[in-house]
Homo-oligomer: A and B are copies of this chain.
Amino acid sequence: MAQKPSNPKGTRDFLPEVMLRRNLIFDTIKEQFIRYGYQAIETPALEKKDTLMGKYGEEGDRLIFKLFPRGRKGEKLLEEKDASHIEEALRYDLTVPFARFVVQHQNELSFPFKRYQIQPVWRADKPQKGRYREFYQCDADVVGSNSLLFEVEFIHIYDKALSKLGLTDFSININNRKILSGIAEVCGESDRIIDITVAIDKLDKIGKEGVQKELSEKGFTSDFLEKIDPLFDLSGSNSEKLEKLKSYLAQSEIGMIGINELEFILDKISKSTLENAKLNFDVTLARGLNYYTGAIFEVKAHGVSIGSIGGGGRYDDLTGIFGLKDKPGVGISFGADRIYDVLEELNLFPDFSKDSTQVLFINFGEAEADFCMQQAELMRANGMNVEVYPESTKMQKQFKYADQKGIPFVVLAGSREIEGGKVQVKNMASGEQRDMDVKSLKEVETWK
């Protein structure tokens, strides 16, 4: 029986045009990773269940796709109704598998180990617009160094990769977890740092009064609200904000360490040139708080409906969960799906003619096709992408094929043309038709 086929909810098929655009994004980012010495690795989609479970919180554990065990294990699972017979699962992100990788292969790696990884991940989430059950992550991390030069490097990577993709208006927001700790300390609420940062992280959305209201509701006193008030009005340049915060945090040792780290990074960046990124110190940025221990990054595109297109930060202990201590690191992530949407909204995707078929030979019959096949081989050897239509069917049908596939040039080589050594070439965009020497077909691309 014929089935009506479809892909599962929350997953996607990528058609050729979309693939070209996605690959442009990945290739551009990859190129910058390589420029800075990051090396590609891949880990399997399948991980042992125990590698993943307990690393993403209770909700995360629920969202991990588990595999039904094969053979006897699967029977036992059903007989005993005991999910502990499940042994394998699909990776939920690239970070935990990377930590596992570093610990497992520590003797084969040179530290600081700089890796990038672009692979799909799976989450058994409720599918909705922009949220998928299978999607690519695109990460670079370095482990095994405390050097803040890596934070500087990642800012450059963000700047260069996004600029090369054509973005001109975006900011890299930066904060430091130690500054957030300092704020909580200065306000006398060190223990409640999470409540505080969850609230001030919303400043963008709900405004100062909204944040104050949320803090009150959570039981923070008016004395506290007064103490934290100056943070909402931090304005001016990065160094102006830093100066104000310095006096504010003067009594907090951890806060001042955070200030120093941030100053170091801003100083190094000021000595170099960013192409398009605006580096912006944002004391309310608190992304992934429990995880990060130093710098926190978030990249935002301006003038588009979708904002955040990347993020990352420093962590002191990524591999500790797998028993390897003292491997601090820092990493960033590019939100490829988001970047795709931004580039589409801003109409920044280029013409892809170099990556798809450039010339189609019309098929007039077997003898002519022999000639065209030979010409096509010569052109391919010159680095061009060429097709010969496979059947000598109606011209209209052959032209329609070129049109639908976006092939820019169509060559008509009938027996008369072949004898004369000249063929007709049609420029599909302009509709113009020309006689061309067979030998110069390899330069047809210059005719625009």
Point out residues on A near B: beta carbons under 8 Å.
Answer: 2-8, 11-16, 19-20, 23, 34-37, 39-48, 50-51, 62-63, 65-68, 70, 77-79, 81, 83, 86-88, 90, 100-101, 103-105, 108-110, 112, 114-115, 120, 122, 124, 133-134, 145-147, 149-150, 152, 156, 160, 268, 271-273, 320-323, 355-357, 369-370, 373-374, 377, 380, 384-388, 390-391, 400-401, 404-405
Q: B residues within 8 A CB of A78? A: 77-78, 81, 83
Question: Would B108 and A5 count as touching, CB distance under 8 A?
Answer: no
**A373 proximity list for chain B (CB < 8 A):** 149, 152, 268, 271-272
Q: Which residues of B contact A268 (CB under 8 A)?
A: 370, 373
Q: How many copies of this chain sit in the oligomeric assembly? A: 2
* Chain B residues in 8 Å Cβ range of A13: 41-44, 101, 104-105
A272 to chain B, nearest CB (A): 6
A369→B149 contact, CB < 8 A: yes
| Contacting residues, chain B, for A400 (C-beta < 8 A) | 110
19 new A-B pairs (CB below 8 Å) besides A36-B380, A268-B370? A2-B322, A3-B321, A6-B48, A6-B104, A7-B48, A8-B48, A13-B42, A14-B40, A14-B42, A14-B43, A16-B40, A36-B386, A45-B45, A62-B70, A63-B70, A66-B68, A68-B68, A160-B380, A272-B374
B residues near A46, Cβ cutoff 8 Å:
7-8, 11, 122, 133-134
C-alpha gap A335/B36 in the complex (Å):
32
Q: Interface majority SS on A: helix, strand, loop or mixed?
A: mixed
User: Smallest CB-CB separation from A157: which chain B residue?
Assistant: B380
Contact yes or no, A14 B41, CB < 8 A: yes
CB distance from A84 to the nearest CB of B (A): 12
**Contact among B8, B272, B273 with A47 in the assembled complex (CB-CB below 8 Å):** B8
Nearest-Cβ distance from residue A58 to partner chain B, whole angstroms: 14
With a cutoff of 8 Å between Cβ atoms, the chain B residues found around residue A122 in the complex are 45-46
Residues on B with C-beta less than 8 A from A150 are 390
Give complex CA distance A65, B70 in Å: 8
Per a CB cutoff under 8 Å, which of B37, B115, B401 touches A357?
B37
A323 is contacted by which of B2, B88, B110, B134 (Cβ under 8 Å)?
B2
A63: chain B residues at CB < 8 Å are: 70
Q: Please judge, given known A-B contacts A37-B386, A81-B79, whether A19 and B42 are in contact too, CB under 8 Å.
A: yes
Q: How far is the CA of A100 from the CA of B323 in the complex (A)?
A: 44
Most buried by B among A8, A20, A70, A122: A8
